[in-house]
Amino acid sequence: MTAHVPPAAILDQTRQARIDLAAAYRLIHRLGLDDSIYTHISVRLPGRHDRFLINPYGMRFEEVTASNLVEVDIDGNIVDDPLGLGINPAGFTIHSAVHAARTDAMCVLHTHTVAGVAVSCQRQGLLPLNQWALQFTDRLAYHDYEGIALDLDERARLVADLGDKFVMVLRNHGMLTCGRSVAEAFKLMHNLERSCRAQLAVQASGAEISPLSAAVARKTAGQYANFYDSIELRGQPDSEWAAFKRMLGRTDPDFIN
């Protein structure tokens, strides 16, 4: 029996998904948002609702390439593992939960940065202090810490807390973003990280904080949402993501291998 060959368009999309995911890993490293061999980014395979790509466990993010990513099904079974390294079990728990529950979450990105963890430890979480942070107004979910994410029964609670949002604070743990593309998940995390760093800097300064009104916060969040939608839904060029990948082309050209 002849094996089914995916349409050429799916093959092209799969190749692009691999390149974009590898780019995200390299960018997270370049921006100092990685945590040794831990944390993870995953992307759903184009044309599939039950398969996703994730990093080989044990490799640093600057070692990830388009071809060494591991393909996993929604039950955690390894489909393709070029290096034979397997995956981080905690990565599977978090990412499989979101991918299974949210068909719009093509990419899921999780970090443990010093700034992100610090803000996740604050009772009030992320504060609406600046333009970066305002984009998350009414668009931020919270999930309480339950220990290292190895228990599969946590998945139901995690996705219930996430709801229909694209950004989540994992309390006392770190940050998580979802995206309709790798680019969107990365850009949300980039801005979330800068929001956390700015919050800590303001708090450390001891200066009086200039408050922003709820109306301005919601207006700004809507402006950001419209910008993201213009790219993800209306096909506008993503100039920022293209610029980031051009940078990698100069500094980390092997990410596409």
- At 155-210, the pLDDT tens digits run 899 999 999 999 999 999 999 999 999 999 999 999 999 999 999 999 999 999 99
Is 252 inside a domain boundary? no
Average pLDDT score over residue span 131-153: 92
Residue 4, domain member (yes or no): no
Do the Cβ atoms of 143 and 168 come closer than 8 Å?
Answer: yes
Contact 224, 131 (CB under 8 A): no
- Residue at 156 is within a domain: yes
What is the count of structural domains for the chain? 1
Cβ atoms of 125 and 60 closer than 8 Å: no
Give the pLDDT score at 148: 85
Which residues span the domain enclosing 174?
A: 9-242
- Assigned domain for 43 exists: yes
Within-domain flag for 116: yes
20-34, 48-62, 142-156: the lowest-pLDDT one: 142-156
C-alpha pair distances (Å), 231 with each of 80, 159, 181: 31, 25, 10
The overall pTM is greater than 0.85: yes
State yes or no: pLDDT of 92 exceeds 80: no
The answer as to whether 2 is a domain residue is no
Evaluate whether residue 3 is within a structural domain.
no
- Which helix H or strand E contains 97, and what residues bound it? helix 89-101
- CB neighbourhood size of 19 (10 A): 19
Name residues whose C-beta falls within 8 Å of residue 42's C-beta, 6 or more positions apart in sequence.
21, 52, 53, 54, 91, 95, 99, 107, 108
| 26 within domain boundaries | yes
13: domain CATH number is: 3.40.225.10
User: 40-61, pLDDT tens digit by residue?
Assistant: 999 999 988 889 999 999 999 9
Q: What token pair was written down for 56?
A: 């080989």
Spatial contact of 228 and 183, defined as CB atoms under 8 Å apart:
no
Q: Tell me the C-alpha distance between 1 and 151, whole Å.
A: 40
Give percent of the chain above pLDDT 70. Answer: 98
Phi, psi of 159 (to 5 degrees): -70, -30
Nearest to 140 by CA among 102, 103, 109, 178: 178
Strand stretches in the chain, DSSP E: 40-44, 51-54, 70-73, 78-80, 107-111, 140-143, 167-170, 174-179
